[in-house]
Amino acid sequence: MQFPDGFLWGTATAAHQVEGGNVNSDCWLLEHVKSTFFVEPSGDACDQYHRYAEDFALLQRLGFNSYRFGIEWARVEPEEGEFSRAEIEHYRRMLAACRERGLLPMVTLHHFTSPRWIAARGGFESSDTAGRFARYCERIAKDLGDLIGAACTLNELNAVSLLQQMGTLPSDEKILTSRWRAEASHAMGVAPESFSAFPFCAQSTIRDNILRTHREGYDALHSGRGKFPVGMTLALQELVPAEGGEDRCAAALRESEDVFIEAARGDDFAGVQTYTRRFFGSKGPLPPPKDAECTQMGYEFYPEALEATIRRTAAIAKCPIYVTESGIAALDDSRRVEFIRRALACVERCIRDGIDVRGYYYWSMLDNFEWILGYGPKFGLVAVDRTTQERIVKPSAEYLGRMARANSTSDPVTRA
């Protein structure tokens, strides 16, 4: 099928995961406290802070027409109210370079990391963060809005609720009394109850704050130069009830997904980010079925989950959809090709049924810093030599690039 004109074919990254040296962020701090739970620090990451021109040239050569990347709040506003003109100029150069390569820049204003001072003022556990985020968004809209192609306010603002439903986040009490939180707050000169870094935060307070942060950020981004679309991105899985798990599954869907999707109503778009499906039993989430193929992350290999999440989001949010992340961590790149092929077939079926899907961004352009798991999981279309920073293009990059160039899922080389 030929995709609609103007369909965006992209890859996605986040500032902290690829730029390197994000020293003013809360994440950098957590990577360096004595009791850190990160397996290794982010360090130089992929040095995209300095190598963006080379990366954009590569994306253009491959055939993409868009790139999703992060603007790092911790760089732009390293101390409260102190905006760095030099860093804003850096992102201006980056946006311009992106456009010069024929790539529409989609930016993310907050992709998990915040400035340290935000974390020391309660992060998203504090109701003041919404206003502070809006002030930062306003500045970005004013100074960079003329070059932005599309903007995501917060990446996966439902992440905490999702981790909670999946049983992977410690209890509020454990987080509040953890050694790492004590050490990080000590480093910032505040009491442990004042320090909060997303998504490792006490869960009970943050949902309303984060939804308000999106809303105020959304309005602020519309206040400046440029008429680009703005939306949130959501971590969505296909949640499937196993026998006896119907109630738990319905509750998880409601708590971790639907309330957030509903908040996207009236926005310019909703960003769907899907990696797998999850079964629910009577006691909660179940591990993948015994015979299932699993990815490097331990997720079930199930690209079709994307079809369910696109359909659900479109039905509830009633706004255009971008698939802002879809991907797989795999050492065997042929599994990535297969994943992409089947994920795009989902997009195609949705478009055929009249759903307004406007773009597909593969996560990720580069093998990068996978948060607490460090550099182990390989999500990239392009490998990165960790010593020389050399980019090594994988066959999956060429594969997706060919479809991008043809604006179609029929690959002229494999005819698949």
Q: Which residues are catalytic?
A: 156
CB of 155 vs ligand BGC, minimal distance in Å = 5
CA distance 307 to 344: 9
Closest by alpha carbon to 20, among 61, 67, 55? 55
Closest CB to ligand BGC among residues 235, 357: 235
Question: Minimum Å distance from CB 17 to ligand BGC?
Answer: 6
SS3 content of the chain, % helix, strand, coil (to 5): 45, 20, 40
The residue (of 18 and 404) whose beta carbon lies closer to ligand BGC is 18
Are the C-beta atoms of residues 197 and 30 closer than 8 Å to each other?
A: yes
Distance, CA of 214 to CA of 209 (rounded, Å): 9
State in angstroms the smallest separation of the CB of 12 from ligand BGC: 8
CB 132 within 8 A of CB 177: no
Between 153 and 155, name the residue whose CB sits nearer to ligand BGC: 155
Which residue's beta carbon is nearest to the bound ligand BGC? Answer: 14
CB of 111 to ligand BGC, least distance (A): 6
Residue with Cβ nearer ligand BGC (55 or 325) = 325
| Cβ-Cβ contacts under 8 Å for 282 (sequence gap 6 or more) | 244, 245, 247, 248
Beta strands in 111-194 (DSSP E): 150-154
Distances in whole angstroms, Cα of residue 65 to Cα of each of 101, 206, 346, 354: 8, 36, 20, 23
Q: Least distance (Å) from ligand BGC to the CB of residue 276?
A: 10
What whole-number distance in Å separates Cα of residue 3 and Cα of residue 408?
Answer: 5
Angle at 357 between CA 352 and CA 358, to 5 degrees: 125
Residues binding ligand BGC (CB under 6 A): 14, 17, 155-156, 235, 273, 325, 363, 370, 379
Nearer to ligand BGC, 333 or 411 (CB): 333
Rounded-to-integer distance, Cα 262 and Cα 374, Å: 33
Q: Shortest gap between Cβ of 269 and ligand BGC (angstroms)?
A: 16
From the list 124, 208, 207, the residue with the least C-alpha distance to 161 is 207
Q: What are phi and psi of 404, to 5 degrees?
A: -60, -45
Comparing CA positions, the residue from 320, 395, 317 lying closest to residue 350 is 320
Nearer to ligand BGC, 88 or 151 (CB): 151
Query: In the numeric block, which tokens belong to residue 142?
Result: 């004013």
